[in-house]
Amino acid sequence: MGYKEQAEFLRSGLYRWEGDARAFEKDGPYIEVVTSPNNPDGAIREAVVSRGEGKLVYDLAYYWPQYTPITQPLDRDIMLFTFSKCTGHAGSRIGWALVKDKEVARKMTEYMQISSIGVSKESQIRAAKILGVLSEGCQHFRTVDSQNFFEYSHSILKERWERLRNVVKNSKTFTLPKYPRDYCNFTGKYMDSNPAFAWLHSKEDIDWESRLREHKIIARSGERFGASPKYARISMFSPPEAFNLFLERFSAIIDDINGNVVT
Amino acid sequence: MGYKEQAEFLRSGLYRWEGDARAFEKDGPYIEVVTSPNNPDGAIREAVVSRGEGKLVYDLAYYWPQYTPITQPLDRDIMLFTFSKCTGHAGSRIGWALVKDKEVARKMTEYMQISSIGVSKESQIRAAKILGVLSEGCQHFRTVDSQNFFEYSHSILKERWERLRNVVKNSKTFTLPKYPRDYCNFTGKYMDSNPAFAWLHSKEDIDWESRLREHKIIARSGERFGASPKYARISMFSPPEAFNLFLERFSAIIDDINGNVVT
């Protein structure tokens, strides 16, 4: 469920969904949501509507060092975070925000109060525990041999991306996005992006969500993200057995297509 | 935070807060929320707007046998429940609904999906555990000597209400609501109501929330519930020490007023 669905379902008298920011040309106050890294394509994004009366909301759900190099300490007016993609605790339904304007922060708190009185105490206890473990793991970072959570997650994603790129390399129809290698201030190294999702593109004009499902691969069509069905989004953080099975089945599809193209 | 605050804050294009149902005289579709037992006064309520195009929502947060006799198995179109007042787990932010119309139920589920994707998993696990303990306790009910949760809670509230009524009896200014004694199908006995809140009324034209606060008693003014400040709402389910201290301080206030009236 995205920002669009929320805005449309609630039919608020306060705001209205205006669609893609790149096509927005109206005058007056506006809110631009910048999802960076973006879901589904993992791209680092900046605001595109540049006008005086706008409020920018940065959704940083995927701005964690296992996915993308942390190139700078961000300093935006409104920044949203969640445990969901940080540690995988999506089910705890807990996030946080860094907000510069006191009045905006107060309104956000009021909204929480009015919509739900506040976040589940059980989730808060869990989140506090997780934060403790994460920050403890990062405290002695770069001085000890053991991996902290982010390094560990990064090594898994890196290995999966390498395996997927190796498979796609053999394909005559599929391509994957390329990401710039960049210096990560968190790890102190130059790093590749290893996004949470693979944003697969095919030259062939096929509804890939349906086609992949026939081969027992669950993907989400590009259409669901306002793109062409030639795109499909595939999760890179499924359980290990599921990911292995996906790669196996996907390789078979590629071999099959390659064969068909050749003969 | 009540229904009014939610409706006004969200400024939905779908509905608008129209105020007290007893004063509602507009034509066309409407939603009436029936809070029964009502907060703050503990009264059993029925719908008051009777027209064809209305949807009734029964908020049954306090319809539990520790508070009020369960006179009948309710059979309404939309019935809302919560753990908050059932067992005191308000912080888990979890409730449930019984809904007859499939389409309404689907929309409610969709709203949950869109507004929060769903309830915290930690809360769900806790709630499942609580439900297990509650229902186990009730299974051998009336055949064993031990009290189940509802009997235990009822005995505590009953004792507190008796003590409070004894204190108020001596007062020349304060009164408490009277509730009908009724047959409770859950306990199989005639029972009094022992609401979660005492809805205290005073003859004197004083802002009782402020006056009580001076005596270190936290109450909520009737004004916050659309009534006169001569009313004050007092929690009957505070921790034992807090309730004892409240009764002590409140007795002192009554003695003081009685003294002043006499001299």
Residue A12 confidence (pLDDT): 81
In the structure, what pLDDT confidence band is assigned to residue B260 with cuts at 50, 70 and 90?
low
Q: What is the pLDDT of residue A144?
A: 62
Cross-chain Cβ contact A5/B118 below 8 Å: no
Q: Is the pLDDT of residue B263 over 70?
A: no
Side chain identity at B68, as an amino acid letter? Answer: T
Confidence of residue B86 (pLDDT cuts 50, 70, 90): very high
CB < 8 Å to A115, chain B:
6, 9-10, 115
Mean pLDDT of chain B: 92
Q: Which residues of A touch B121 (CB under 8 A)?
A: 91-92
Residue B93 is nearest to which of A9, A110, A117, comparing CB atoms?
A: A117
| A-chain residues near B12 (CB < 8 A) | 10-13
**Residues of A with CB below 8 A from B114's CB?**
1, 5-6, 9-10
Note the pLDDT tens digit of each residue in A6-23.
Answer: 888 878 888 889 999 999
The Cα of B109 is separated from the nearest Cα of chain A by a number of Å equal to: 12
Higher pLDDT, A205 or A98: A98
Q: Which residues contact A217 (CB under 8 A, 6 or more apart)?
A: A234, A246, A249, A250, A253
pLDDT at B139 over 70: yes
What mean pLDDT do residues B156-169 have?
97
Three-class secondary structure assignment of chain B: CCHHHHHHHHCECCCCCCCCHHHCCCCCCEEEEEECCCCCCCCCCCCCCCCCCEEEEEECCCCCCCCCCCCCCCCCCEEEEEHHHHCCCHHHCCEEEEECCHHHHHHHHHHHHHHHCCCCHHHHHHHHHHHHHHHHHHHCCCCCCCCCHHHHHHHHHHHHHHHHHHHHHCCCCEECCCCCCEEECCCCEEECCCCCEEEEEECCCCCHHHHHHHCCCCCEEHHHHCCCCCEEEEECCCCHHHHHHHHHHHHHHHHHHHHHHHC
Q: Is B119 on the interface with A (CB under 8 A)?
A: yes
- Topology annotation, domain B149-262: Aspartate Aminotransferase, domain 1 (3.90.1150)
| pLDDT at res. B114 | 85
Contacts B94 to A, Cβ<8 Å: 120
Mean pLDDT of A79-98: 95
| Residue to test with chain A: of B1, B122, B126, B129, most A Cβ within 10 A | B122
Contact A13 B14 (CB under 8 A): no
Per-residue pLDDT at B8 exceeds 90? no
In the predicted structure, residue A263 carries a pLDDT above the cut 50: no
Extents of the domains making up chain A: 3-138, 149-262
- pLDDT computed for residue A142 by the predictor: 65
Angle at B12 between CA A227 and CA B9, to 5 degrees: 115
Residue of B nearest to A94 (CA): B120
Q: What are B229-238's pLDDT values in tens digits? A: 999 999 999 9
Region A47-75: mean pLDDT is 93
**Interface touch A93/B13, C-beta < 8 Å:** no
- Nearest chain A residue (CA) to B89: A121
Average pLDDT of the segment spanning A136-149: 78
Q: Quick check: A100 pLDDT over 50? A: yes
pLDDT for the residue numbered A14? 83
pLDDT in tens, A211-258: 999 999 999 999 999 899 999 999 999 999 999 999 999 999 999 988
pLDDT digits (tens, 9 = 90+) for B173-230: 999 999 999 999 998 999 999 999 999 999 999 999 999 999 999 999 999 998 999 9
Does any CB of chain B come closer than 8 Å to the CB of residue A25? no
- Burial label, A240 (beta-carbon count in 10 A; 0-12, 13-18, 19+): exposed
The hierarchical CATH code for the domain A3-138 is 3.40.640.10
> Which of A5, A114, A122 comes nearest B92 by C-beta?
A122
Across chain A, what does the average pLDDT equal? 92
Residue A28, token pair as written in the block:
């007056």
Cβ pair B92:A120 closer than 8 A:
yes
What is the pLDDT, as a whole number, of residue A251? 96
Nearest by CB to residue A116, choosing from B93, B118, B122, is B93
Contact between A12 and B9 using a beta-carbon 8 Å cutoff: no
Contact B126 A122 (CB under 8 A): yes
Residue-wise pLDDT tens digits, A188-219: 999 999 999 999 999 999 999 999 999 999 99
Say if A7 is an interface residue toward chain B (CB within 8 Å).
no
Beta bridge partners of A198: A234
Whether B10 contacts chain A with CB within 8 A: yes
A90: contact with B, CB 8 A cutoff:
yes
Mean pLDDT for A45-49 is: 95
CB-based contact B115 A118, cutoff 8 Å? no
B-chain residues within 8 Å CB-CB of A118? Answer: 91, 93
Pairing of strands B78-82, B95-99: antiparallel
**In chain A, whose CA is at the least distance from the CA of B111?**
A9
Q: Is A201 helix (H, G, I), strand (E, B) or coil?
A: strand
Q: What is the ipTM of this complex?
A: 0.85
Percent of chain B with pLDDT over 90: 77
Query: Which residue of B87, B92, B119, B121 is the best one to mutate when testing the A interface, meaning the one whose CB has the most A CBs within 10 A?
Result: B121
CB A158 within 8 A of CB A166: no
> What pLDDT does residue B6 have?
81
Which of the residue ranges A66-70, A139-143, B141-145, B233-237 would you say has the lowest mean pLDDT?
B141-145
Would you call B123 and A122 a contact, using CB atoms and an 8 Å cutoff?
A: yes
Task: Give, in order, the Cα–Cα distances in Å from A20 to each of A15, A41, A42, A48.
Answer: 15, 15, 17, 10
Contact B121 A1 (CB under 8 A): no
Cα atoms in the Cβ-side hemisphere of radius 13 Å centred on A114: 15
Distance from CA of B32 to the nearest CA of A (A): 19
Q: Do B120 and A91 touch (CB under 8 A)?
A: yes
Mean pLDDT of B45-55: 90
